[in-house]
Amino acid sequence: MISIFGSKKRIQDLEREISFLREQLQKANEKISQLEERLAQSLKNSRNSSKPPSSDGPQDNKPTTISKKADKRKPGGQPGHPGHSRKLLPEEQVDCFQQFRPAQCGHCQRIFDGREETHLLSRHQQYELKDKPIQVTESQCLEAICPQCGGKSRGDLPGEWRSGLGTNLLALTAILTAYRRVPRRVVQELLSTVLQLPISLGSVQAAVEEAGDAAGPVAEELRRQLPQEAVLNIDETGWRCQGKKAWLWVFVASRFVYYWIDPKRHRAVLDQVLGEAFAGALCSDRWAAYLSYLRRHAAVLGPFETGFAGHGRADQKPCGGYLLQKSLAAGETNV
């Protein structure tokens, strides 16, 4: 028979074990709550919450795919789709010609000797890289001796010879690196193998910088056009420039898009790019810098209004993304 003392000790042990398990359960529930909250935050992006698009990570930009089961169409052009083919160049633009004659008659099997009457049946054109696809031009700087004083003068190399690449090669390098985002080392390999151009990695970078300098006057002309636009869509996002944090500002006009990289995310950037008296309508996410810019301009140009832009008044319009974010946030609040 179990003694009363033994029973009490057993009950105390069980109570301590229950208390310990309750503490562990409480800690586990708190940990689960934290993990669930982190998971919920990681699944939110600018499309399903009020978060700005600049906070989206690479995993949020996956393209929407259509299920193969739902799409029963065969790959390629669909019935009724207008065909697209490369148009033949006129004969004066063709470099060389090849003619293919039949070797014998397809009816009586007589062997042709090349004197038969022929007619053009069809034309086909093939494009091919040349064995030497690039042209090399050598510029020689000469030194002239003056017959009167004996002084020596030398000819100067033009500025466009800085990188040793012509206009077309500079444009190709800029398109591949800046527009197509091809790594510079891959561009180096492409130029070396396909175009048979011996070039170093540093020369590729020098070509990119030279192309950027050449585009400078055009970019400045577009910047001067921005204050004249009737409507501008503006946004900014984080950007890494030479290893340092900066901001990429985007100004979308009716006929062009202007990019501006600046270390500041401040109204001063808008003053510098748009000037102190922008009279058109700004479409933005209503971030503080834009509102501050418009309040300041309202004091210069006239009363701040939220209606349609009038002559001589800076106007603020919320962009579609901003309205969508606010609608999603309102939906989350009402759930």
pLDDT of residue 330: 59
Q: Which of 208-212, 302-306, 326-330 has the lowest mean pLDDT?
A: 302-306
Residue 238 inside a domain? The answer is yes
Confidence band for 184, pLDDT divided at 50, 70 and 90: very high
Q: How far is CA 5 from CA 11, 17, 18, 47, in A?
A: 10, 19, 20, 66
Q: Is the predicted pLDDT of residue 83 greater than 80, yes or no?
A: no
More confident call, 37 vs 332: 37
The answer to whether residue 285 sits within a structural domain is: yes
Give the lowest-confidence range in 47-61, 99-113, 171-185: 47-61
Q: Range of 259's domain?
A: 229-334
Q: What is the pTM of this model?
A: 0.56
The residue among 203, 221, 239 that closes a domain is 221
Mean pLDDT, rounded, for 44-69: 67
pLDDT at residue number 317: 57
Total domains present in the chain: 2
Range of weakest confidence among 23-27, 94-98, 279-283, 324-328: 324-328
Which of 194, 221, 248 terminates a domain? The answer is 221
Spatial CB neighbours of 304, under 8 Å, sequence gap ≥ 6 = 294, 295, 298, 313, 314
Per-residue pLDDT at 306 exceeds 50: no
| Same-domain check for residues 195 and 249 | no
Would the CA dihedral through 85, 88, 94, 100 be positive or negative? positive
Average pLDDT over residues 152-157: 89
Residue 10 has pLDDT above 80, yes or no: yes
Q: Do 265 and 180 fall into the same domain?
A: no
Q: Does one domain contain both 250 and 327?
A: yes
The reply to whether 237 and 321 lie within a common domain is yes
Candidate from 80-89, 204-213, 214-223, 254-263 with smallest mean pLDDT: 80-89
pLDDT at 58: 64
Q: pLDDT grade, residue 333 (50/70/90)?
A: low
Residues 256 and 309 in one domain: yes
Is residue 248 over pLDDT 90? yes
| pLDDT score for 326 | 60
Looking at the structure, do residues 190 and 250 belong to the same domain, yes or no? Answer: no
Q: What pLDDT does 313 receive?
A: 44
Which has the higher per-residue pLDDT, 303 or 198? Answer: 198
Where a domain ends, among 201, 221, 241? 221
For residue 186, pLDDT over 70 is answered with yes
Check residue 38 and give its pLDDT: 85
Does position 311 have pLDDT exceeding 60, yes or no? no
User: What is the mean pLDDT of the segment spanning 194-212?
Assistant: 90
269 domain-assigned: yes
323 vs 288, more confident: 288
Which amino acid appears at position 249 of this protein? W
Q: What is the mean pLDDT of residues 188-211?
A: 91
CATH number at residue 293: 3.30.420
The predicted-structure confidence for 253-284, as pLDDT tens digits, reads as follows: 999 999 999 999 999 999 999 988 788 888 98
pLDDT in tens, 277-304: 788 888 988 888 888 888 776 554 444 3
Checking if the pLDDT of 329 tops 80, the result is no
Asked, for residue 40, whether it belongs to a domain, the answer is no
Does the residue 65 lie in any domain? no
Average pLDDT, the chain: 82
CA-to-CA distance for 305 and 45, rounded, in angstroms? 32
Residue 26 pLDDT greater than 80, yes or no: yes
Least trusted range by pLDDT, from 17-21, 42-46, 197-201: 42-46
Q: Does residue 247 share a domain with residue 204? A: no
β-strand partners of 104: 111
Once rounded to an integer, what is the mean pLDDT over residues 70-83?
Answer: 75
Q: Are residues 233 and 318 in the same domain?
A: yes
